[in-house]
Chain A
Amino acid sequence: MSEPMLTIKNLTKTYQDSPEQPKILADLNLTVDREEFLCILGPSGCGKTTLLRCIAGFENFEGEILVNGVSRKEPGSDRIMVFQTFEQLFPWKTVEGNITWPLKKTGMTDKTERHRCAMEALAKVKLADYAHYYPHQLSGGMKQRVAIARALALKSEIILMDEPFAALDALTRRELQNELLTLSAAEHRTILFVTHNIQEAVILGTRNIVLQKGGKIIFDEKNTLPKPSTPSSPGFAEVWQRMRDAIYANENAE
């Protein structure tokens, strides 16, 4: 049996600078399979961002995080993060440079190859025409697309997405959801996608989990609805309702 893509064992996280040092995540265990699209939901402050940041290697933690069976404590391009903020691109680099430069830094020595990879990734997010723009000349949705293209070009096996569409308007959000759905089907990546939006999770996820305060997983279900699914697809409403109940019950319990 092959190793799972990502294994999290007994993950416990406290922030040193918080006074009473509550456990933001307590003894969290999670296994994510290759090419899974895992949506993570839960109330504000339950530790979703913290979980992704631990996986990305940005935080110290207790416990173990294994990628392909190998323990990871430091950041690395095998787990690329797509942040919520639009300001995650390097403003001093063009759209293309924002992809070619990370490629160079992660060891792609051939310049024409870097250019080819960048243009290929930009084409996937429909931004090939904007290669020479600077980030400040792009809209928020376009910036998020570039960030996704960067993760694609870097061939990161795991892509960590922390509410990447939360700050977008509804229409752009729908558009990017559709694109991400197509990309995730074609790209064979493992994606961890944090969202507040149940509908988004049902549309995108192949598996959905709901966290409670303290990072306890109170809902964990494979999403077997045939994709693409819409709110009117058979079974959609039931999945949506089950997740909503899980989140809601959790909120009531507090």
Chain B
Amino acid sequence: MKTSEKASGKTAEHLARIIFLLAVLGIWEYVARARLLGPRSELIFPSLEAIGRAFLRNFSKGYAGNSLWIYIGNSMKLLLTGLLIGNGLAFLLSGIAAVNHTFYSIYNLVISVCDLLPGVALLPVVIVIFGVKSGVIVFLVIHAVLWPMSRSILDGFMAVPMIYVEAGKNIGLRGVGLLFGIYLPASIAYIVSGLKVGWARAWRGLISAEMIFGIASCPGIGLFINQMRTNMNNAEMYATLVVIIIIGVIVQYGILTPIEKNTVKKWGMAR
């Protein structure tokens, strides 16, 4: 009885969302067809069909002889490199901070300061130092994930219940053994939330950096969308936005949610 009520509540919720979505699309299409915005209507509100065709064209024809796939590939390459280095560094530095008190207090300060700096604000400085290279984007992604992830890991370590640490010591764990055997798994809820924040910042940072300083040697999605704007290919522009949303959804529901389900949720460790 209770569960079926819950289930029917869920379906009703889904239904409401679908209806809302269809309504938004319907209004869009109406505005487009009726040319409500006058002569510029077609630019601002291309019809859904035009956007759909642009979507396909992005992948078949693309821009400057390259399909959107190439741009996506470039963005993902930079993003992944940055995420790996950033998260790796976060674990390494937080691990050192966990065992060395002086390092902890300094690193804590560094995190607090750097976390306040939006990556895009750093762009000019980084470019002055490194020049316009794809490494700049990687640097920004690292900057986007390193600090929130480090903060999460350190907060997680601080919040590990003493009882797990003592149970670990009781079976002879010390130092690094405790770190890997107890502190890391025990702070999983914090680490997962750090991953989420890090990903969100990295993804936004990547797209904005690519839009501001598109790098010709490694053109990405941000550059693509900017080119569509300059060429007044507005349907393509909207279609690329849809691609960006789809990538976000894939990462959220294809990677982050499963990670959460298989750790925090499975172990009953939600914060």
List residues of A whose CB falls within 8 A of some B CB. 56-58, 75-77, 79-81, 83, 85, 87-88, 90-92, 101-102, 105-106, 134-137, 154
Contact = CB atoms under 8 A, between A and B. Distances in A.
19 contacts: A56-B170, A57-B169, A58-B169, A77-B170, A79-B170, A81-B166, A81-B167, A83-B166, A87-B161, A87-B163, A90-B185, A91-B269, A92-B186, A92-B188, A105-B172, A106-B172, A134-B266, A134-B267, A136-B268
Contacts of A136: 267-269
Nearest first, the 9 closest Cβ-Cβ pairs linking A and B are A136-B268, A75-B169, A102-B171, A92-B185, A91-B267, A92-B267, A105-B171, A77-B171, A75-B170
A83 B172 CA distance: 17
Contact of A137 (B164, B169, B186, B268): B268
A134 B170 contact: no
Contact of B166 (A75, A79, A91): A75
Contact of B163 (A75, A79, A88, A137): A88
Interface string B54-96: 0000000000000000000000000000000000000000000
A182 to B, nearest CB: 24
B218 interface: no
Contacts of A90: 164, 167, 182, 185-186
Contacts of B186: 90, 92
A134 B171 contact: no
Contacts of B169: 57-58, 75
Contacts of A57: 169
Interface in B168-185: 169-173, 177, 181-182, 185
Interface of B: 161, 163-164, 166-167, 169-173, 177, 181-182, 185-186, 188, 263, 266-269
Summarize B's interface: helix, strand, loop or mixed.
helix
Contacts of B167: 81, 83, 88, 90
B268 A135 contact: yes
B171 A154 contact: yes
Contacts, number: 60
A183 to B, nearest CB: 19
A135 B269 CA distance: 10
B249 to A, nearest CB: 28
Contacts of B170: 56, 75-77, 79-81
Nearest to B173: A105
A57 B172 CA distance: 11
A217 to B, nearest CB: 25
B166 A58 contact: yes
Contacts of B182: 90
Nearest to A91: B267
B163 A85 contact: yes
B231 to A, nearest CB: 52
A80 B267 CA distance: 24
Contacts of A91: 267-269
Contacts of B177: 105
Given A75-B172, A105-B181, A136-B267, 20 more contacts: A75-B169, A75-B170, A77-B172, A79-B170, A80-B171, A81-B166, A81-B170, A83-B166, A83-B167, A85-B163, A87-B161, A88-B167, A90-B182, A91-B268, A92-B186, A92-B269, A105-B171, A106-B172, A134-B268, A136-B268
B246 to A, nearest CB: 33
**Residue of B172, B188, B268 with most chain A CB atoms under a 10 A cut-off:** B172
B163 A92 contact: no
A164 to B, nearest CB: 13
A58 B170 CA distance: 8
A183 B249 CA distance: 54
Nearest to B161: A87
